[in-house]
Amino acid sequence: MTVVAVLGPGAVGGTLAVRLASAGRDVVCVARSGTAARIRAEGLTLQAPDGSQRARPDAVERLEHPVDVLVVTVKAPALHDAVGRIAAEPATVVPLLNGIEHLVTLRERFPRVVAGSVSRFEAWKLDPITIRQTTPALVLGLAADVPALHVPGVTVTVGPGDRELLWSKAVRLGPLAAATSASGLAVGALRDDAAWRARLSDAIDEAAAVAGADGVRLDAAAQWEIIDAMAPSLTTSTARDVAAGRPSELDAVAGSIVRAGRRLGVRTPVLEGLLAECRAS
Are 84 and 103 found together in one domain?
Answer: yes
Are 152 and 276 found together in one domain?
Answer: no
d(CA 57, CA 18): 8
d(CA 132, CA 139): 16
Are 57 and 184 found together in one domain?
Answer: no
Strand partners, 86: 63
d(CA 198, CA 147): 41
What are the φ/ψ torsions at residue 113 (nearest 5 degrees)?
-120, 125
In this prediction, residue 68 carries a pLDDT of 98
Are 30 and 151 found together in one domain?
Answer: yes
Are 99 and 218 found together in one domain?
Answer: no
Which of the listed residues 158, 178, 209 is the one where a domain comes to its end? Answer: 158
Longest Cα separation, the chain: 54
Q: Which residues contact 104 (CB under 8 A, 6 or more apart)?
A: none
Which of the listed residues 132, 158, 184 is the one where a domain comes to its end? Answer: 158
Which helix (H) or strand (E) segment is 177 a member of? Answer: helix 162-183
In this prediction, residue 214 carries a pLDDT of 97
Are 272 and 182 found together in one domain?
Answer: yes
CATH number at residue 24: 3.40.50.720
d(CA 228, CA 134): 17
Are 244 and 137 found together in one domain?
Answer: no
The parent domain of residue 198 ranges over 162-280
Q: How many domains does the chain have?
A: 2
Which of the listed residues 158, 189, 210 is the one where a domain comes to its end? Answer: 158
From the list 178, 189, 180, the residue with the least C-alpha distance to 269 is 178
Please give the angle made by the CA atoms of 208, 209 and 211, to the nearest 5 degrees: 65
Contact 128, 142 (CB under 8 A): no
Q: What is the DSSP letter of 244?
A: H
Strand partners, 95: 72
Are 61 and 100 found together in one domain?
Answer: yes
In this prediction, residue 39 carries a pLDDT of 98
Are 212 and 241 found together in one domain?
Answer: yes
Contact 171, 182 (CB under 8 A): no
Are 66 and 116 found together in one domain?
Answer: yes
Are 176 and 237 found together in one domain?
Answer: yes
In this prediction, residue 119 carries a pLDDT of 86
In this prediction, residue 120 carries a pLDDT of 81
Question: What number of helices (H) and strands (E) belong to the chain?
Answer: 12, 12
Q: Is 213 helix (H, G, I), strand (E, B) or coil?
A: helix
In tens digits, the chain (281 residues) has pLDDT values of 899 999 999 999 999 999 999 999 999 999 999 999 999 999 999 999 999 999 999 999 999 999 999 999 999 999 999 999 999 999 999 999 999 999 999 999 999 999 999 988 889 999 999 999 999 989 999 999 999 999 999 999 998 899 999 999 999 999 999 999 999 999 999 999 999 999 999 999 999 999 999 999 999 999 999 999 988 998 898 999 999 999 999 999 999 999 999 999 999 999 999 999 998 77
Are 71 and 105 found together in one domain?
Answer: yes
CATH number at residue 241: 1.10.1040.10
Burial group, residue 135, by CB count within 10 angstroms (0-12, 13-18, 19+): middle
pTM above 0.85, yes or no: yes
